[in-house]
Amino acid sequence: MKRLLLAIAVIFAVACSKTTSNQTNEVAIIPQPLSLSKHNNAFVVLPSTTIVCDVEEFAPIVKYSQEYMKVGVATKVPKNNYISISLDKLLAEEEYHLAVSNDSVQIVAGGYGGAFNGVQTLFQLLPSEVYTKQMRLPAVVKGCNVKDRPKFAYRGFLLDVARTFMTKENVLRYIDYIAYHKINKLHWHLTDNQGWRIEIKSHPNLAKVGGFRGGDSPINAALGKWDEKYGGYYTQEEISEVVEYAKVRNIEIIPEIDLPGHSGALAAIYPEVLCKKADGTPRNTGIVVCATKESNYLLLEEILAEVCALFPSKHFHIGGDEVNMSQWKSCPDCSAWLKKNGYTDGHKLEDMFIGRIQTILAKYGKTPSVWNEAAFGGGLSKEAWVHGWKSPKVCKQVMAEGYPTIFMPQQFFYFDMRQSEHENGAIWGGCFDIRKVYSFDFAKEGFTPEEVAQVKGFEAAAWSEVFLSQGGDKSIDFIEYQTFPRLCALAELAWGKNGSGEWQEFHNRLYKSHYDRMADMGLNFRITPPNVKYENGLLSIEKIDNSAVYYRMEGSDKRLSYRGAIRTSQPGRYLFWAEYRGAKSPEVAHSSQYKTIKPKVTLTSSIPDQPKHGYHRVADYYMSMRTSRTYKEGDWFLFEFEEPVECRSIEFVTGSHAVPSRLITKGYLEVSHDGKTFHHVAELNYGRAKLLNPKPIKAARIVATSDDVPGSQLRICSPIIYPKW
């Protein structure tokens, strides 16, 4: 009778799972397990199913699992209808075996990490609805046996909350997202030039004042709109809550206090940490901590001691990246130290500084982690973890120094970079989507198997300079869009890229199964766009997955379903995108959509230019020319065209092209059709103004209506002009 009921339940559950989206019955796990064998038995989770686990240490995992699966617990192993989680000390800490039968799901793990990983695999064998925490029962667990362990001990993700602040609730959400992908380290970038995000009780102003920029804050709002106060910070209680939440999810948090560079927020609160000027007088702005002031080490110890106490990790990231040595070189004390020790290279000061901080950390039981720049001084403990961000080649050099190395070359793993040419995002480190992340290959990068065996792991970085300009909740949506699904590929690399390693096979698992999971997780993930083809007057779409394709005509928001090839002589007017359960691809179009024109133009300004980056470069349509000073209210930039420009759109951009910095915060655009009289046509938004279908433009002028913050340098781009169809 029981078996009959079970059989009915299976049929019912399978039927139910078919009603949600287009999930297949394929076993498709990301990251791919080391060993996976499928079979035809299946377990059915019923309201009466129980979890049984007598390992006290795993109690948080049982509670966590119950949140998702809504099942009870049993103290003794029942005859059937149970999920067991048990310990086998012969397995490695993060290793697990998972066996599905008609009667049970049995997870055997080497430790807490293995048990958690086993539960994540179980989730991926259930309907994706499990991630909503409202999964309907009965629910089928697909039949398979798994023997699995990660190849790399460090599978990390960097969250930069210094540039774009993320609330505690959003950090917790992110921890869930990465935990679903068996990521086990969160590198929490808590301080930078633009903000100090962690409460320090002995120095409360660091967070209370330094957690904000713009408005009345002493922090120069290098990013975003400096006239609007922006920011936030975490109290120590909140930090502890996040640490505990992550721990349950097998995630170790490595905090970063970025020193001695990237210290603008610290220096805004305590300018006395800066080097003296060459004439011995105090400096009041800067981003590098003086390496020879004894008082700095006392202050830093007070700060670091509090941070050390909040994070159980043995590892503490102290930065060490991108130190501009010029203030050290002009500092009477730092230059005297170099001279006394017979050095000329400023890096010696960084080595000394890192050594001093290492000694402080050791008092609190911590080992430093650093960026790759700090790995070559000789004084860094060989236990220190080094994050190689510059390139695979630099990672190789770091490994040659004998350091446990975490691979995060910007060209593959900096997720602030845009994913295709016409999307938002930074560009300095490259332009790449998930395919490139997945393509990372040690052999292609020149690593021997012996070297690979020494690699500590991988990390992806969600630097957030580019996120802020999305505005409010959109910033958080954009972080998700930039991170997923690229992080799925990183997770698979860090797990060991088991299976074929072929893109197509991975992509199949991704879109056939994991798109649904990400949708149910609540992620705003990016869908890889379809390909656009134009041949013999026919515009068509080549689908690459099971998402639906839509299009709109340029200038209209009307969403049209793509049903087949479109006959047109103006293919660039059609903008296509793919959608899957609320997630979207970027818009894609025929190349003619993106073609710009470069009519003859000159640029003049009330502000002189920097000769090396002069305004004359507008003739060649350079992106980004630089001013020699910042701006005041009333300063202007004038673009004069040789002939009135006819176009379908024209955009004027102040500031860096990709990142909202060095821009005119408040100002307007005025245009002239005759070159004499000007009409106010738009306010600047994040330093930009775009006009659609304007009357022919002879000249355009950007006028600032407020002063800039002191010290910030302004940039100006050439106009971006799209021709009439």
Binding residues vs ligand ACM (CB under 6 A)? 321-322, 371, 389
- Closer residue to ligand ACM, CB minimum distance, 95 or 258: 258
Which tokens sit at 465?
């300079």
Q: Which stretches of the chain bind Zn ion, using CB under 5 A? A: 275, 290, 331, 333-334
Least distance (Å) between residue 286 CB and Zn ion: 10
Return the one option of Zn ion, ligand ACM, none that residue 311 interacts with (CB less than 5 to 8 A, by type): none
Residues 623 and 696 sit within 8 Å (Cβ to Cβ): no
Which tokens sit at 12?
């019912």
Return the one option of ligand ACM, Zn ion, none that residue 209 interacts with (CB less than 5 to 8 A, by type): none
Cα(11)–Cα(718) distance, integer angstroms: 63
Return the one option of Zn ion, ligand ACM, none that residue 88 interacts with (CB less than 5 to 8 A, by type): none
Residue 723, classified by CB atoms within 10 Å of its CB into exposed (0-12), middle (13-18) or buried (19+), is middle
Cα(390)–Cα(387) distance, integer angstroms: 9
Return the one option of ligand ACM, Zn ion, none that residue 473 interacts with (CB less than 5 to 8 A, by type): none
Least distance (Å) between residue 197 CB and ligand ACM: 17
- Closer residue to ligand ACM, CB minimum distance, 88 or 322: 322
Least distance (Å) between residue 334 CB and Zn ion: 3
- Closer residue to ligand ACM, CB minimum distance, 121 or 372: 372
Q: Which residue is nearest to ligand ACM (CB)?
A: 321
- Closer residue to ligand ACM, CB minimum distance, 148 or 351: 351
Return the one option of Zn ion, ligand ACM, none that residue 275 interacts with (CB less than 5 to 8 A, by type): Zn ion
Return the one option of Zn ion, ligand ACM, none that residue 445 interacts with (CB less than 5 to 8 A, by type): none
Least distance (Å) between residue 290 CB and Zn ion: 3
Closest among 32, 158, 150 to 413, alpha carbons compared: 158
Return the one option of Zn ion, ligand ACM, none that residue 322 interacts with (CB less than 5 to 8 A, by type): ligand ACM
Q: 700: which strand partners?
A: 639, 671
Q: How is residue 174 annotated by DSSP?
A: H
Cα(385)–Cα(371) distance, integer angstroms: 9
- Residue 592: which residues within 8 A CB-CB, separation 6 or more? 570, 571, 572
Cα(720)–Cα(725) distance, integer angstroms: 16
Residues 620 and 720 sit within 8 Å (Cβ to Cβ): no
Torsion angle of C-alpha atoms 481, 484, 489, 491, degrees rounded to 10: 140
Residues 62 and 49 sit within 8 Å (Cβ to Cβ): no
**DSSP letters for 119-168:** HHHHHHHS-GGGGGT---SSEEEPPEEEEE--S-SEEEEEEETTTS---H
Cα(320)–Cα(317) distance, integer angstroms: 9
Least distance (Å) between residue 428 CB and ligand ACM: 10
Least distance (Å) between residue 150 CB and ligand ACM: 24
Residues 517 and 124 sit within 8 Å (Cβ to Cβ): yes
- Closer residue to ligand ACM, CB minimum distance, 398 or 720: 398
Least distance (Å) between residue 652 CB and ligand ACM: 30
Residue 446, classified by CB atoms within 10 Å of its CB into exposed (0-12), middle (13-18) or buried (19+), is exposed
- Closer residue to ligand ACM, CB minimum distance, 321 or 579: 321
- Closer residue to Zn ion, CB minimum distance, 8 or 298: 298
Return the one option of ligand ACM, Zn ion, none that residue 290 interacts with (CB less than 5 to 8 A, by type): Zn ion
- Closer residue to Zn ion, CB minimum distance, 282 or 675: 282
Least distance (Å) between residue 295 CB and Zn ion: 12
Return the one option of ligand ACM, Zn ion, none that residue 331 interacts with (CB less than 5 to 8 A, by type): Zn ion
Least distance (Å) between residue 310 CB and ligand ACM: 23
- Closer residue to ligand ACM, CB minimum distance, 321 or 640: 321
